[in-house]
């Protein structure tokens, strides 16, 4: 038996080494290791052997199988490397030839809308504020009056970092300094601004945010802009006027109608959802119209909660404010006619050429923020 196995090994390894291509090599594999292969048939005989025979012949048959499998893998790697070398030798590109067309990049719609927002709110006296995308639990949730039991804190909605999870498990986490998660909104920028600046405050906070969600209108990473005003004597009327002015400037229409609906957010009280009226034009919804055919929700907003103001070391009896937030990606979809959010992040050059903007299309209030 041992002599037969040695002869079989030598015969199979010789055939494998002589295989001139991948097809021939695969034929060797099937003949030896396939369902009806020679080695497979030998493995099936192990069940009929006595324990003593199996103890002797089992390792020999397994050794044959391993040797043949290794020989096939080595020969396959050699053949694939030779095929790649031959392809690289035959496919050449003359880098000295002139290009058929000059490269032409485009401005991504998200970048364009961010510039439009900055231009509009700068005219209203707002500064642009930024903050870290990796945040602490305190800045992202606690300071914003979001309770421990709130669904937004759940693992299925928030991307938590292992270092924060480990710190909590060890009991060494300081919620104000331990960076524990990817921010789920840009509201932590508002908290950091109120902690570092004295009122009055007028800022917008655009940037990337992260939530565990993905479909045609949601992505795990998306862009959001939030606004914050902290001053004395601020009322809901200031919020309504600011948002009306912004929406009219952004969509470049004076016949914009807004509707405020009562809502709930932990960090604002009272809270309102902002709907914008739209009209149907050839079956498509177009923002604007003195007599809307329907309503689209575009913003969440409200008066900053007293507890949020207190958490930032300010006296809520002296200082009041309003805040608002919306998705930049959705604003771009609504203004420029995209119907799916996922291509925003696919990097498809055809999509970018169609929806992108020229580098010269710089938004200005005098020339029009839209391109």
Of the residues 41, 63, 90, the one at which a domain ends: 90
Of the residues 58, 90, 122, the one at which a domain ends: 90
Asked if 41 and 81 sit in the same domain, the reply is yes
Identify whether 136 is part of a domain: yes
Asked if 36 and 134 sit in the same domain, the reply is no
Across 128-147, average pLDDT: 93
Angle at 209 between CA 206 and CA 213, to 5 degrees: 140
Asked if 216 and 85 sit in the same domain, the reply is no
Number of domains in the chain: 2
Across 201-208, average pLDDT: 95
The pLDDT score that the predictor gives to residue 230 is: 97
The 10s digit of each residue's pLDDT in 51-95 is 888 888 888 888 888 998 999 999 999 999 999 999 888 888 778
Identify whether 173 is part of a domain: yes
CATH code: domain of residue 264: 3.30.930.10
Asked if 332 and 191 sit in the same domain, the reply is yes
Identify whether 367 is part of a domain: no
The pLDDT score that the predictor gives to residue 49 is: 86
Asked if 144 and 287 sit in the same domain, the reply is yes
Identify whether 157 is part of a domain: yes
Of the residues 36, 56, 90, the one at which a domain ends: 90
Which among 123, 340, 120 is positioned nearest to 247, based on CA atoms?
120
The pLDDT score that the predictor gives to residue 93 is: 78
Identify whether 26 is part of a domain: yes
Look up the pTM and report it.
0.68
For the chain, how are helix, strand and coil distributed in percent, rounded to 5? 45, 20, 35
pLDDT over 90 at 171, yes or no: no
The pLDDT score that the predictor gives to residue 60 is: 86
Asked if 55 and 189 sit in the same domain, the reply is no
The pLDDT score that the predictor gives to residue 366 is: 67
Reply yes or no: is the peptide bond before residue 200 cis, omega within 30 of 0: yes
User: Do 261 and 239 meet the contact criterion of CB atoms below 8 Å apart?
Assistant: no
The 10s digit of each residue's pLDDT in 221-239 is 889 999 999 999 999 999 9
Asked if 270 and 322 sit in the same domain, the reply is yes
Pairwise CA distance, residues 325 & 274, whole Å: 10
Mean pLDDT (the chain) is: 88
pLDDT more than 70, % of the chain: 96
Instruction: For residue 78, give its domain range.
Output: 2-90
Residue 39's pLDDT band (boundaries 50, 70, 90)? confident
The DSSP bridge partners found for residue 209 are: 222
Identify whether 32 is part of a domain: yes
Asked if 127 and 84 sit in the same domain, the reply is no
Pairwise CA distance, residues 356 & 107, whole Å: 5
Residue 371's pLDDT band (boundaries 50, 70, 90)? low
Take residue 294 and report the two structure tokens written for it: 């329907």
Take residue 28 and report the two structure tokens written for it: 């060797």
Which among 215, 243, 241, 248 is positioned nearest to 227, based on CA atoms?
243
**H-type alpha helices, 253-294:** none
Asked if 205 and 82 sit in the same domain, the reply is no
The pLDDT score that the predictor gives to residue 359 is: 80
Asked if 152 and 278 sit in the same domain, the reply is yes
Across 279-284, average pLDDT: 84
The pLDDT score that the predictor gives to residue 199 is: 92
Please tell me whether 148 is known to bind a ligand: no
pLDDT more than 90, % of the chain: 45
Asked if 51 and 151 sit in the same domain, the reply is no
pLDDT over 80 at 102, yes or no: no
Across 323-329, average pLDDT: 93
User: Do 232 and 309 meet the contact criterion of CB atoms below 8 Å apart?
Assistant: no
Identify whether 40 is part of a domain: yes
Q: Residue 331: in which H helix or E strand, if any?
A: helix 328-336
User: Do 106 and 356 meet the contact criterion of CB atoms below 8 Å apart?
Assistant: yes
Classify strands 127-128 and 201-210 as parallel, antiparallel or unpaired: parallel
* Residue 180 three-state SS: strand
Identify whether 102 is part of a domain: no
User: Do 235 and 272 meet the contact criterion of CB atoms below 8 Å apart?
Assistant: no
Take residue 292 and report the two structure tokens written for it: 């809307």
The pLDDT score that the predictor gives to residue 338 is: 84
Asked if 204 and 71 sit in the same domain, the reply is no
């Amino acid at each position: 038996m041992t002599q037969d196995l040695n002869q079989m090994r030598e015969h199979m390894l010789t055939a494998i080494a002589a295989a001139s291509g991948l097809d021939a090599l695969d034929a060797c594999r099937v003949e030896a290791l396939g369902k009806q292969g020679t080695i497979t048939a030998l493995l099936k005989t192990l069940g009929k052997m006595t324990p003593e025979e199996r103890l002797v012949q089992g390792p020999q048959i397994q050794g044959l199988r391993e040797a043949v499998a290794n020989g096939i893998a080595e020969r396959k790697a050699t053949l694939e490397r030779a095929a790649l070398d031959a392809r690289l030798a035959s496919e050449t590109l003359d880098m000295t030839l002139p290009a058929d067309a000059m490269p032409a990049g485009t401005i991504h719609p998200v970048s364009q809308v961010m510039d439009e927002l900055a231009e509009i709110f700068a005219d209203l006296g707002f500064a642009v504020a930024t903050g870290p995308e990796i945040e602490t639990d305190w800045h992202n949730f606690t300071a914003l009056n979001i309770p421990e039991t709130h669904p937004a804190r759940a693992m299925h909605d928030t991307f938590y970092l292992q270092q924060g999870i480990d710190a909590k498990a060890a009991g060494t986490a300081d919620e104000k300094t331990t960076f524990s998660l990817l921010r789920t909104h840009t509201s932590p920028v508002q908290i950091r601004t109120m902690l570092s600046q004295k009122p009055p405050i007028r800022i917008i906070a655009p940037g990337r945010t992260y939530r565990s969600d993905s479909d045609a209108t949601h992505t795990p990473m998306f862009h959001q802009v939030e606004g914050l005003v902290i001053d004395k004597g601020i009322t809901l009327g200031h919020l309504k006027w600011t948002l009306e002015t912004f929406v009219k400037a952004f969509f470049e229409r004076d016949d914009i109608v807004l509707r405020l609906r009562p809502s709930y957010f932990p960090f604002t009280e009272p809270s309102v959802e902002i709907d914008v009226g739209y009209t149907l034009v050839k079956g498509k919804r177009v923002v604007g119209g003195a007599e809307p055919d329907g309503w689209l929700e575009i913003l969440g907003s409200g008066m900053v909660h007293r507890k949020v103001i207190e958490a930032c070391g300010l006296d809520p009896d002296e200082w009041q404010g309003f805040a608002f937030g919306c998705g930049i990606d959705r604003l771009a979809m609504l203004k420029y006619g995209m119907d799916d959010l996922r291509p925003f992040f696919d990097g498809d050059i055809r999509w970018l050429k169609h929806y992108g903007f020229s580098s010269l299309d710089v938004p200005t209030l005098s020339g029009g923020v839209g391109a």
